[in-house]
Amino acid sequence: MKALVWLIGAAITVMSILIILKPQIARDIGERMNPQLFYFAAWARIVIGMIFLAISDTRSWGTLFNVLGILLIVVGAFALQSGYERTREFVLGIVHGNENLVRVAGAVGVLIGLLLISAS
C-alpha cells in the first residue's frame, strides 16, 4: 500500500511540475478529456482524499491532511455531481484563460504529490 501511495504521489508531482513548466500540457489534457478520463479523475480525487483522511492521525500535520482530504473529496464529488459536459466546459475555460492560474493549479498538484510521497 505504501508503494502505491508513493507511486501516485510521484506521478502527481511529476505531472504537476510539467504543467508548471509548460501550461500547454494542461490544455492538451483538457481538450482530450473523454468521459472515462473524467470519471477516473473524479474518483481518483475522492480516493486520494480518503487516503489523506486515513493517514492524518499518524502525521504531525494532521490538520493539513484533514483539510486537503476533505477538499479533494468535495472537489471529486462536485465534479461527479456536475457531470462530464459541465465540468469539461469549466476545465477548458480555465486552461484557455490565464496561464498563471494554470501554473498555480500545477503548484497545488505539486503540494498534494509531495504530501502523498511524505505519507508513504
Give the Cα separation of 103 and 107 in Å (integer): 6
Query: Cβ distance 5 to 119 under 8 Å?
Result: yes
Which pLDDT does position 61 carry in this prediction?
74
Which three cell numbers, joined as nine digits, stand for 43? 474518483
Which three cell numbers, joined as nine digits, stand for 106? 500545477
- Which among 21, 13, 14 is positioned nearest to 115, based on CA atoms? 13
Q: Is 97 helix (H, G, I), strand (E, B) or coil?
A: coil
How many other CB atoms are found less than 10 A from the CB of residue 32?
8
Query: For every one of its 120 residues, what pLDDT tens digit does the chain have, with 9 covering 90 and above?
Result: 678 878 888 998 999 999 999 988 888 888 888 999 999 999 999 998 998 888 887 777 778 888 888 999 999 999 999 999 998 888 888 888 888 888 998 999 998 889 888 876
pLDDT digits (tens, 9 = 90+) for 29-57: 888 889 999 999 999 999 989 988 888 87
